[in-house]
Chains A and B, each alone.
Chain A
Amino acid sequence: MSKNSHLSIFLKGILLENPVFVLILGTCPTLATTTTVIGALGMGLAAAAVLVCSNMAISLLRKVIPDTVRIPCYIVIIAGFVTLVQMFVHAYLPALYDMLGVYLALITVNCIILGRAEMFAGKNTVGKAALDGLGMGIGFTLALLSMATIREILGAGSFAGIAIPFLSDHKIEIFTKAPGGFLVYGIMIAVVYKLTHGKAPRKREFGCEGCPSAGMCHAGTCAKEDA
C-alpha cells in the first residue's frame, strides 16, 4: 500500500495532475520555450531540477519555517536554486543559456514550483516531496516536449534542429508564433482531458470545488483565508 501510494505520487504529475495540461500552471514558459525541442527539453529539465531540490528543501524545513513567512521563505529557497541552476547552465551549457534567455531566471516565479511547495512539499515528508517534484518535473518536461515536437515539426519542419525532408519545404510558420502556441496548447489540454476523463480533477466552477488542486488541499483553506 505504502509502495503503491509512493508510486501514485510520482505518477500523478505525469498525466492525471500534469502541471501544464491539467493544473494549467506555468503557461508563460510553456508557450515561450516550446518553439524548439531542445529549448523545451532544457527548460523542462532545468525546472524539474529546481522543483525536486526546492521541494526537498522546503519539506525538510517545513517544521522550521513559521507559517506567517512561509511564502517569502519558499521564494528565497526557490530563487536560490534557480540561480544555482542558472549559473551552472551558463557555465557548462552556454548555448542553452542563450536559447532560454530570461525564461531561465523566470523559473523563480514559475507557479508550478511555488504551487508544489505550497500544496505539497510544505505538508509532506522529504521522500514524498522529492517524488512529487520528480513526477511534476517530468510531467512538465514531457508536456513541453510534446508541445515543442508538434510546434517545431509543423512550424519549422525540423526536430531538435534536424531538418525533416518534405516538411522543411512546407513550413506552417504560425506554429512557431504565439497564436500557434495557444492553438497547440488548447488542443493538448482537450486531448489530455479526454484521456483522463472521469479521473482528472474536474473544473466545475471557480472556487474551492472547481480548483484542480482541491484534491490535495485541505478543504476550506481558501475559504478561511478569504474570510
Chain B
Amino acid sequence: MAFNSSDTAAFKGVWVFCEQREGVIMSTSYQLLSEGRKLANDLGVELCGVVLGKDIKEEYLKALGGYGADKVYYCNHELLDVYTTDAYTKVICDLVEDKKPEIFLIGATNIGRDLGPRCAARLHTGLTADCTHLDVDVAKYKEFLKTTSTIDVDNTVFEENTNLKMTRPAFGGHLMATIICPRFRPQMSTVRPGVMQTQPYDEAGAAKTVIENVNVALSKDDIHVDVIEVKKAAKKLVDLIGADVVVSVGRGISKDVEGGIKLAEELAGVLGGVVGSSRACVDAGWIGADHQVGQTGKTVHPRIYVALGISGAIQHLAGMQDSECIIAVNKNESAPIFDVASYGIVGDLYKVTPMLIEAIRAAKAAK
C-alpha cells in the first residue's frame, strides 16, 4: 500500500534520530532520547533510536537503551559514514514509510536542520524547528504554561488531544508559539541542542536494547553531491553547553575589547567556567561564533551565568535566562538584563570585574 501521511491512525511510536559523527553518537541524541522516553510513556508506545552510519560500535548502539530507547534501528552502509542530504533523506524516508512512527525528533544541529526539512517535504508532513519544549499530555502542557507563560491557564480552554505540542521561540524569543501537526504523521520536530536534560544512564536499559539491522537500499546514483573533505576547526572550540559556569561579555567591552575579554577569562578561570558572548561581539568580530549565547547561538543553563556589559536583548535572554544564578554587571540601570538577573550591579565592568575576581579568590582561599 502506498504511503499516506494523512492516515494518522496507522502511525505509532516515538523515534529519535541519533546523529553520529566519525562513528560517535552525539550527546544531543541522549537529550532527545531522554525527552522522547517521557513522550513514549505518556502515549504508552515504544521509543526507538535511529542510527545511520558505517560500522558503528555495538556498545554505542546498546548505550542508546541506557538513555531510554527500547529499540534501535541501525542502518549500516558505506555511503552513510559521512552525512549527505541525499543518502540520509532516502534511508530515513524509506524507514519511516515502512515503520510509520507517530513522532520523529531530530537534534537541531547543522546536520539535523538540513535533514529534517528535506525529509518532511518528501513525506508530506509538518516539521517544527528548534523546539525547546515538547508535550503530548494536555495536563502536563498546562503545568508547563503555568510557569512559563502569562496565560491564565485555569480559565483557558484547551483542546484535549494527544497531538505533539511543540513549543518554540518565535521572533527572536519575543513570543513563544506551540505548534501542532494534527493532520499528518509523523509529527516532526527539530530540538535545540542543550535544552532537554539527559536522564541518568541506566545499565539495565542498555542491556535490554533491541538492535534491529535495517536493510539499506542505497547506491552511489542516489547521491548527487561529493563530500571532498570534512575538516575540524583547528582551534579547540569552547564547550558552552556543558559548562557549569559561563562568563559572557557584551557590547559593553567596546571601550577595550581585549581588556574586557581578558577580565572575563580571568573571572571564568576563578569560577571554573568558560567565556560566552552576546551576538554583538560575534558580529563585531571580537570573539569567535562558538562563544555566542542566545537565539542564534547556544542555549545554556549553567549554575552561574555572569553577564558583563550585556544589555540583554531578548535574543540573548532566550539563550540564558534559565541559568540557575545570573549575575549582571552593566552601566545602564535600565538594561533588560537586570530583569532576569538574580543579582545586579550597576557599574563599570572594568572596575567591578577585577574587584569581583579578587573577592571570589579571597572567599575561595578562606575555605
Chains A and B belong together in one complex: no
